[in-house]
Amino acid sequence: MSTSSYAPPQVWTWDAESGGHFASINRPIAGATHEQALPRGEHPLQLHSLGTPNGVKVTVLLEELLALGCDAEYDAFLINITKGEQFSSGFVALNPNSKIPALFDTDTGLRVFESGAILIYLAEKFGHFIPQDLAGRTECLAWLMWQMGSAPYLGGGFGHFYAYAPEKFEYPINRFSMEVKRQLDVLDRQLADRPFLCGDTYTIADMAVFAWYGVLVIDDLYKASEFLQVASYEHVVRWAKAIDARPAVQRGKRVNRTWGPEEQQLAERHSPTDF
């Protein structure tokens, strides 16, 4: 087992150089670092985001709503977190937590931040992808909250220590690998006898969980497929492939993405013709 000579000081102080891969985008205080207004497009829904899993949740839902014929046209502006654009005055006014995604609805004058809250807002506004009966809605929201609570173990925990940390340490990798595999087993058991998380109906819960765990098992998120033996979670893989085959999902995965093969990128989206 790896050992470390590090001992925590009596009072923690911030070392801006100690954050590894994310040293330029993390800091221990909130608020804006510079004045900069956000751009404004012509559509009522103004999304400011990046094509990470949390951003993909929202663009997948928007593309699914458009595929149903809903009046959900949107402008998706890129927030480059490596350049600190999430700390602009305009973005902080939209999301005081300075995290993507953030949405402004010019129809209602409402700002919405936190990806799960945006999913609920849009699903309720357009009346799709969230069950209307109490039992179905409760199950859907339970799985959505499960994803919101579980993803930090996958992204900030496993993903950080396995893929991004400046040094590899056995203890945190083991700790978060165990939890991610436990979560995959939770999903695999849930999906063993149903096509979607909540039964026969595709919902915002599936979209949210797919953006993290679906991508993990079919797109080799963090290059960890072999390490985590993701192929052994057969029901999760089947579910993820079915969702990934949806045209709206393929479009949503491209929006605000600036890495990978060129055909998978679409830095900004303002019209269906952008695809």
Residue 195 clears pLDDT 80, i.e. is over it: yes
Global pTM exceeds 0.85 = yes
pLDDT of residue 51: 98
In this prediction, residue 2 has a pLDDT band, given cuts at 50, 70 and 90, of: low
Residue 3 clears pLDDT 80, i.e. is over it: no
Residue 20 clears pLDDT 80, i.e. is over it: no
Write the pLDDT tens digit of every residue in 245-265. 999 999 999 999 999 999 999
What is the DSSP code string of 30-57? -S-SB--PPP--SSSEEEEE-SSHHHHH
* Mean pLDDT, the chain, whole residue set: 95
Question: Which pair of structure tokens corresponds to residue 209?
Answer: 């969980």
What are the structural domains of the chain? 10-129+247-275 (3.40.30.10), 134-244 (1.20.1050.10)
Residue 178 clears pLDDT 90, i.e. is over it: yes
Residue 22 clears pLDDT 80, i.e. is over it: no
Q: Give the lowest-confidence range in 7-16, 84-93, 102-111, 185-194.
A: 7-16
Sheet holding 102-105, edge to edge: 74-78, 45-49, 102-105, 110-113
In this prediction, residue 102 has a pLDDT band, given cuts at 50, 70 and 90, of: very high
What percent of the chain lies above the pLDDT cut of 70?
96
What is the DSSP code string of 238-257? HHHHHHHTSHHHHHHHHBTB
pLDDT of residue 6: 83
Q: How far apart are CA 84 and CA 82, in angstroms?
A: 6
- How large is the average pLDDT for residues 152-164? 96
221 and 210 in contact (C-beta within 8 Å)?
no
Residue 1 clears pLDDT 60, i.e. is over it: no
pLDDT of residue 253: 98
In this prediction, residue 16 has a pLDDT band, given cuts at 50, 70 and 90, of: confident
pLDDT of residue 26: 83
Q: Give the lowest-confidence range in 24-33, 146-155, 221-230, 266-275.
A: 24-33
Residue 21 clears pLDDT 70, i.e. is over it: no
pLDDT of residue 23: 66
Q: Give the lowest-confidence range in 5-14, 28-37, 44-53, 114-123.
A: 5-14
> Cα 144–84–78 angle (5° rounding)?
60
3 state SS of 217: helix
> Cα 33–38–44 angle (5° rounding)?
145
- How large is the average pLDDT for residues 149-164? 96
